């Protein structure tokens, strides 16, 4: 039995959930998200909650039970509250700025790194060394952060690079004399 799937997902005020065939659509004050459901689970929308149940007792149905419930819960939270991640840039001369729909980063290369901001994502830079990524879709926010971080991941000797706020970098000892 799924420990996650057995709990219904509450629907907060201001959020509408529509179920049409194998597609669930969640609409709230921040936007709209849709998900194509698998045929291994049954999803029903009751008055103020979404209930997910497996079709049968097969292993794939039980696996998708908790997964589907978690996806629906993150969609509901996304359209009502949204998701955000903060990143820090460490290094001499490293900085970032938003220029229209492009994030321009100077990360120690001979050229600036221009990252096109995808639709549905809002990026802001309060300081030149901090980046805040906000959006409705949890997966898209995480993917954008991962793509930004791949340009210059933090290195273990001096800690220079792009890292998540609060992330601990395992530091290595330098050369010994």
User: With 90 as the cut, is the pLDDT of residue 150 above it?
Assistant: yes
pLDDT in tens, 35-94: 999 999 999 998 899 999 999 889 999 999 999 999 999 999 999 999 999 999 999 999
Q: What share of the chain is helix, strand, coil (3-state, %, to 5)?
A: 20, 35, 45
Contacts of 114-122 with C-beta under 8 Å, sequence gap 24+, read 115/147, 115/148, 115/151, 117/144, 118/144, 120/31
Q: How many Cβ atoms from other residues are within 10 Å of residue 174's Cβ?
A: 8
Q: What is the pTM of this model?
A: 0.87
pLDDT in tens, 80-131: 999 999 999 999 999 999 999 999 999 999 999 999 999 999 999 999 999 9
Superfamily of domain 83-164: Ribosomal protein L6 (3.90.930.12)
Domain ranges of the chain: 9-80, 83-164
pLDDT confidence of residue 170:
86
The CATH code belonging to domain 9-80 is 3.90.930.12
Domains 9-80 and 83-164 share a fold: yes
Average pLDDT over residues 13-24: 92
């Amino acid at each position: 039995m799924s420990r996650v799937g057995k709990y219904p997902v509450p629907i907060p005020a201001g959020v509408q959930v529509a179920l049409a065939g194998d597609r669930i659509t969640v609409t709230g004050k921040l936007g709209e998200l849709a998900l194509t459901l698998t045929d291994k689970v049954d999803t029903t929308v009751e008055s103020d909650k979404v209930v997910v149940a497996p079709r049968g007792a097969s292993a794939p149905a039980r696996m998708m039970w908790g997964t589907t419930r978690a996806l629906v819960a993150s969609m509901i939270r996304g359209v009502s509250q949204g998701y955000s991640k903060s990143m820090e840039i460490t290094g001499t001369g490293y900085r970032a700025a938003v220029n229209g729909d492009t994030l321009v980063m100077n990360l120690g290369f001979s050229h600036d790194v221009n990252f096109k901001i995808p639709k549905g994502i809002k990026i802001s830079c309060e300081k030149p060394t901090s980046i805040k990524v906000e959006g409705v879709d949890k997966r898209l926010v995480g993917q954008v952060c991962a793509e930004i971080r791949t340009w210059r991941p933090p290195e273990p000797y001096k800690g220079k690079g792009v890292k998540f706020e609060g992330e601990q970098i395992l530091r290595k000892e330098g050369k010994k004399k």
